[in-house]
Amino acid sequence: MLISSKNNSHSRNKANLICQALYIDLEEEDTEEDKLYKKYSSWDQTPDILLEEIFSYLTIRERYYASLVCRSWYRAFKLQNVWSTFTLEDTTLTRGKFNYYSGWQYVLDHIRTSTCLNKVGRNFRTLVFEPMLNFYNLYEFMNMISWYAERQGSDNTSVAGVGTYIRRLKFTFPCNMANRDDPDRIRVFGTGGKLLEALKRLMRNLQNLRCLELIDLMLDSNEALHLMDDICTNCTQTLSKLILINTTRYNCPLLHVGVFINLNVLVISPQNLHEDIIELIGYTKLRHLHILQNRYSPKDTTIRLPKRSSWIKMKKSNPYLKVHFEIESHKASDILLPIDLLEHSAIPCHSIVLDNPNTQLSPSMVLTHGAFFDSTIRVYAFKGVTRYYLHRSFAKRLDEALVQFCRMCPNLHTLVAFCI
């Protein structure tokens, strides 16, 4: 197959034209003279293990075009590891449809989606739903995956294996859809209704999950209480990583996280924690608890960490658990998670990562972190360059407090600080 540019000059003879081209596949209709003048490459001899790695980085459209290069690449298009991660975006498996009021729109092509699931759906190991504004496409695709997982080849329109081998599900809801281009003007919306029903149906059919990530759902409390019911039934022993970031918009404890006995990593927002949850995870095999507050998390005085007594009980039941604080904020007026209270000195804090370039931290707060977590903390980091004025005098800057912090924490091995 020809993959390089051709000479547009019609005056040159056939031999000169052929010599300027690069060919991969041998054409059956080629004569001996053609084979003599044609120059062949060895791209078609690339090992499958490399082709799988290359194809895995491409989008579905790019994979299709790459499969047209030669027979070897066409065969690699259907290899298992190429489709181990499937990411759904607004234009994935869609076709253009003209709407009289909205103009041209991308709508999910059910025939193309069905063909994709029949051919390579059984190879899916990771299913990722990026933040999408076309809720119709998202709703329809989740229902199609669920339908295939429920049928499992019981009729002529489905194949067995779709959904059976999926080990990781990541779902991110675009809660700031009103001001996506202006992160400083946040207007939060939550999911629910038919879209939430489709998500719960999908989770119910993925019975071999190892990792579940639900990000920025912003549910009402009554909806969140039953969100994880099916996951608790099917994945009590299999789930090893659970990420629940802003599952609810307001304070609502999620007791389901204490059911997974083999859970190793838990990432959760502070509004979904409670004293009972901390005591429950003490009886699991959890090793890393990440308490994450991002730009969409509620930031007010009502959000508090569990009390000291629950952390003491947890440490007795699970002495190997490490707590990580990750705080993201882009407004100077935001109230950050209060982790500098004397009541929380019993927390086995392993790392603190702060991403708040517009909020000026005081030296007293840094020294408080060092005084409370001196024996446990390993990582202390400020992400991003600060956007506030720093005093020219070294004594009035944060540098002296950071040096003293390092002296107070003998087990500290990583310090990241950006200052200007």
Cβ–Cβ < 8 Å for 278, 302: no
The pLDDT score that the predictor gives to residue 365 is 83
User: To which residue do tokens 């939060």 refer?
Assistant: 188
Asked if residue 11 has pLDDT above 70, the reply is no
The arithmetic mean of pLDDT across residues 170-199, rounded, is 73
At 395-419, the pLDDT tens digits run 667 788 888 999 999 999 999 876 5
Question: Burial letters for 279-291: b for 16+ Cβ neighbours within 10 Å, e otherwise?
Answer: bbbbebebebbbb
The arithmetic mean of pLDDT across residues 145-160, rounded, is 86
The pLDDT score that the predictor gives to residue 326 is 92
The overall average pLDDT reported for the chain is: 82
φ and ψ at residue 98, rounded to 5 degrees: -90, 125
- β-bridge mates for residue 292, sequence order: 326
The arithmetic mean of pLDDT across residues 321-333, rounded, is 85
The pLDDT score that the predictor gives to residue 28 is 54
Tell how strand 94-99 and strand 103-108 pair up. Answer: antiparallel
The arithmetic mean of pLDDT across residues 250-266, rounded, is 91
**Could you tell me the pLDDT band of residue 178, with boundaries at 50, 70 and 90?**
low
User: To which residue do tokens 């002495």 refer?
Assistant: 319
Half-sphere exposure of 379 (CA within 13 A, CB side): 13
Asked if residue 77 has pLDDT above 50, the reply is yes
Predicted TM-score (pTM) of this structure: 0.83
Tell me the two tokens of residue 8.
């547009």
Treating both helix axes as pointing N-terminal to C-terminal, what angle do 135-151 and 110-120 enclose, rounded to 10 degrees?
A: 40
User: To which residue do tokens 């209480």 refer?
Assistant: 225
Distance from C-alpha of 262 to C-alpha of 241, rounded to nearest angstrom: 9
The pLDDT score that the predictor gives to residue 41 is 65
**Could you tell me the pLDDT band of residue 27, with boundaries at 50, 70 and 90?**
low
Distance from C-alpha of 17 to C-alpha of 335, rounded to nearest angstrom: 70
The arithmetic mean of pLDDT across residues 268-286, rounded, is 92
The pLDDT score that the predictor gives to residue 167 is 95
Most confident of 13-27, 91-105, 324-338: 91-105
Amino acid code (one letter) for 308? R
Q: 3-class SS at 127?
A: strand
Cβ–Cβ < 8 Å for 205, 163: yes
Q: Please calculate the CA angle 229-235-237 and round it to the nearest 5 degrees.
A: 130
Asked if residue 14 has pLDDT above 50, the reply is no
At 35-73, the pLDDT tens digits run 565 666 677 778 888 888 888 888 888 888 888 888 888
If you ran DSSP here, which 8-state letter would residue 361 be given? P
Most confident of 26-40, 143-157, 194-208, 320-334: 194-208
Q: Which of 323, 371, 372 has its CA nearest to residue 349?
A: 323
Give the CA distances from residue 339 to residues 71, 133, 294, 371, in Å, rounded to whole numbers and listed in that order: 59, 36, 15, 12
- β-bridge mates for residue 172, sequence order: 215
User: To which residue do tokens 């065969």 refer?
Assistant: 75
Cβ–Cβ < 8 Å for 278, 301: no
**Could you tell me the pLDDT band of residue 143, with boundaries at 50, 70 and 90?**
very high
At 367-384, the pLDDT tens digits run 888 888 989 999 999 887
The pLDDT score that the predictor gives to residue 244 is 95
What region, left, alpha or beta, does residue 19 occupy, with left being phi > 0 and alpha being psi -120 to 50 degrees?
A: alpha
In the chain, the percentage of residues whose pLDDT exceeds 90 is: 37
Asked if residue 268 has pLDDT above 50, the reply is yes
